[in-house]
A and B are shown apart, each in its own frame.
Chain A
Amino acid sequence: MGRKEWEKGKWAGKAPRLLSALLALAVWQVGALLLNQPILLAPPGEVLARLVALCFTGGFWLAVGFSFTRILTGFFAALLIGTVLGIAGSRLPLIDILLWPYIAAIKSAPVASFIILCLIWLSAANLSIFIAFLMVLPVIYNNVRQGILGTDPQLLEMAAVFRLGFGRRLLFIYLPQLKPYVVSACGAALGMSWKAGVAAEVIGIPTGSIGERLYEAKVHLLIPDLFAWTAVVILASVLFEKLLLAALRKAYDRLEKI
């Protein structure tokens, strides 16, 4: 079955995905029952109970706030700087060439190497900002650059003949052209920023972070806690991704109604 038939067919919509998620939960539950070793695989009910209990502790929200603000600071800094560099790199090949080694190194090197290296230079509390920034930057840079390079040359010729200024070219030609690239980049990069940011916290162990809680869960073999905090990271990442993409779509809707 092709992708289009799949999307149009009976598997389209939210219901099949919800059923699939429930099935995965059931597999997890059966696995936990068969293994019967909560220290290796905590059952979903126990994880949920632990998650609910954690929600009623003050430290939970402080940890969520700590990691949330830092990781998103890194994400938005990369979004801004990656966009500026992407625009510059698309217009000036020299900039693209000069940035190439850094972008390639960031994309290829293990995130743990960067984390350990940066721990020497940065405080553990702010490490996740920089690591999230570093992981998101190449995604945004490459997408923005590709998007601008893919701009319809005929529209650019039209802009030249009508002598459109940079502001109008940006609003009416480049931003609409960038829409799919920015949406796709934000979707991919946001998940990465959480993964890398939390990994940085687990290694740097800044006090009061989600990473510290995950580290403690690992050291003390608190498997329900490990699962619960992992669920928190997934929920925060998914929730913010949805909010960000909705905000982006709304901004584009407003732009198109100018």
Chain B
Amino acid sequence: MDITVTDLSKAYGEKTVLRSFSAVFPGGQTVCVMGDSGVGKTTLLHILMGLFPADSGSIRGLENRRISAVFQEDRLCESFSAVTNVRLPGGQGASRERAIAHLSALGLANSLSQPVRELSGGMRRRVAVARAILAGGEVFLLDEPLNGLDEQSKATTAAYILEHTKGAGVIMVTHSRAEVELMNGSLLLMRDAGGGVYGAGGVSASGA
């Protein structure tokens, strides 16, 4: 099912971060959202996650659908291990064995039991990605999931995400065209309010 965003606007006090943004995210596809810093990419994801409402506009296609997410920050439970963090939202389906298999697939087989506060930035990022994948969902909202990873880890992690999100809708914010290629996704460019926004690669978008 497509996710249709119509005339979405959001302001923090005097500062408008999203102005009359409209786009259609085709169901079951990966859409990579690119744009300058401050253009409202993360705000858009947060509104789609339901963290706060838009000031105006509408969203269709997310009703009663299970959402999973990688946030811009890792947002891990610092004193717990990678395995525990990954299993946290997964419920019964996230067995210890599955968690270990997922973390191992991302190259974390030797860091399963350490508290995540002791892991490097790149390792923590991969734990956050594994948590989102193991949580499962019909829509994955990923805010720079490959941020802080070296080139090899980026490729491994992108392949891992693609493998486990088949059939689901993926909206991924990124700053890198290389990551768009790794994710084999459509590209949606967001531009600042003044100039309007356009889409490319099969994704339609308008507004700012």
Contacts and interface: CB of A to CB of B under 8 A. Distances in A.
A81 interface: no
28 contacts: A154-B71, A154-B73, A155-B75, A157-B49, A157-B51, A157-B71, A158-B71, A161-B49, A161-B50, A161-B51, A161-B67, A161-B68, A161-B69, A162-B88, A162-B89, A162-B135, A163-B89, A164-B89, A168-B88, A172-B77, A172-B88, A173-B77, A176-B77, A176-B78, A176-B79, A176-B80, A256-B79, A258-B80
Given A162-B89, A172-B88, A154 B75 contact: yes
A257 B81 CA distance: 7
Interface residues of A, number: 16
B84 interface: yes
B115 interface: yes
Interface string B49-84: 111000000000000000111010101011111001
B78 A157 contact: no
A158 to B, nearest CB: 4
B127 to A, nearest CB: 13
Nearest to B132: A162
Contacts of B67: 161
Interface string B133-164: 00100000000000000000000000000000
A161 B132 CA distance: 10
The 3 closest A-B pairs by CB, nearest first: A162-B89, A158-B75, A172-B77
Contacts of A173: 77
A256 B71 contact: no
B53 to A, nearest CB: 13
Given A162-B68, A258-B84, A157 B75 contact: yes
Nearest to A256: B79
Contacts of B115: 256
Nearest to B75: A158
Residue from B73, B77, B89 with most neighbouring chain A CB atoms (10 Å): B77
Nearest to A157: B51
Residue from B51, B69, B135 with most neighbouring chain A CB atoms (10 Å): B51
A29 B51 CA distance: 66
A168 B75 CA distance: 15
A158 B86 CA distance: 13
A160 interface: yes
Interface string A136-168: 000000000000000000110110111110001
Given A157-B51, A158-B75, A176-B78, 7 more contacts: A155-B75, A157-B49, A161-B49, A161-B67, A163-B89, A172-B80, A256-B81
Nearest to B85: A172
A154 B79 CA distance: 16
Interface in A79-125: none
Contacts of B49: 157, 161
A155 B84 CA distance: 15
B148 to A, nearest CB: 17
Interface in A47-66: none
Nearest to A164: B89
B113 to A, nearest CB: 8
Contact of A256 (B68, B69, B80, B89): B80
Contacts of A157: 49, 51, 71, 75
Given A161-B51, A256-B115, A258-B84, A155 B89 contact: no
Nearest to A179: B79
A160 B50 contact: yes
Given A256-B80, A256-B115, A160 B89 contact: no
Nearest to A252: B79
Interface string B151-195: 000000000000000000000000000000000000000000000
Contacts of B75: 154-155, 157-158
A173 B85 CA distance: 11
A257 B79 CA distance: 9
A160 B81 CA distance: 21
